[in-house]
Amino acid sequence: MKKGTAINYKGSLYNEDGDRPVNLESVPKIKSQEELQAALADEEIKFMHIGEDKIYGINKLKYKEQYFLLLEPNPVTFYFSLAYDSITQIKNAKRNLEKALLLAENDGQKAQAFSYLFRVASVCIIFTFSALEAFLNQCLPDYSLMEHKGKMIGKKRIENSVRFNEKLNEIIPKILNKNFAKNHSYEFEKIINLKTLRDKFIHLKEVQDGFTSYNEIYQEVLNNDFEEIVMATKKCINFYCPDLIVNYNLKTQIK
């Protein structure tokens, strides 16, 4: 059965009676297709959608000569979708490798089967990590400073200078007043392993072992349970932001 990841949308919290009021009285009303096209071409005009508890940005985009509006999707769900889809691909790749090891008549056939496994495993790890890191950055407040190692620093500094493990272990639990590591230690260890694997896949440093250079990372591809890593990451994201990641099949949605 075909499975996938639902697209979620990025919004900003507001309270119509509080600190982020919404006043639409000064917003010009668009009354024709010509006025809409003019608004789309005007860089100064911004669009938004107001929900029950959030304001959602609307992307104003142009493809070739066609302007269009897009309720801003959360790219965390794009990245996670690539990771989630790769789970089935990895299972198929491992079955193909098993067949190749039993039936292949030459090294080329085995290399082809292993190549596909390595490719889909790379997609899984790189985009699982990308989804989580993007999510952690979204959790940082836009305007207030945060205390870290005795200094008050802002979002951009944390995004660019603070290590992933420090964001995950210290900063995000402090901001959101809840701690995934303390509540889900098993899954947390999977995420620490995810960071290690991601670094190995991205940097692909040679590790000399006799005449081989990549035996270690190739063995990691064969040994790891990638589904566990992906689902641990989903659990972490949804721990801090419930239902941000929702997977589904054709008939039912699974949260």
One-letter amino acid identity for 199? D
Please report the sign of the dihedral spanned by the C-alpha atoms of residue 234, residue 240, residue 243, residue 245: negative
Q: For residues 50 and 72, give the distance between their C-alpha atoms in angstroms, rounded to a whole number.
A: 12
pTM here? Answer: 0.86
Q: For residues 174 and 22, give the distance between their C-alpha atoms in angstroms, rounded to a whole number.
A: 29
Q: For residues 42 and 247, give the distance between their C-alpha atoms in angstroms, rounded to a whole number.
A: 37
- Find the range with the poorest average confidence among 1-10, 24-33, 75-84: 24-33
pLDDT tens-digit readout, 165-190: 999 999 999 999 999 999 999 999 99
- Longest CA–CA span in the chain (Å) reads 74
Reference 234, options 129, 143, 119; nearest CA is 129
Asked whether the beta carbons of 6 and 76 are under 8 A apart, the reply is no
DSSP letter assigned to residue 251? S
Asked whether the beta carbons of 255 and 6 are under 8 A apart, the reply is no
DSSP letter assigned to residue 171? I
The token pair at 127 is 């985009």
pLDDT tens-digit readout, 186-233: 999 999 999 999 999 999 999 988 899 999 999 999 999 999 999 999
E-strand spans in the chain? 3-5, 11-13, 47-50, 54-63, 66-71, 146-148, 151-153, 247-249, 253-254
Asked whether the beta carbons of 60 and 47 are under 8 A apart, the reply is yes
Residue 21: its pLDDT value, please?
55
Report, as an integer, the average pLDDT of 8-16.
Answer: 74
Q: For residues 15 and 11, give the distance between their C-alpha atoms in angstroms, rounded to a whole number.
A: 13
Q: For residues 184 and 181, give the distance between their C-alpha atoms in angstroms, rounded to a whole number.
A: 5
pLDDT of 74 over the 90 cut: yes
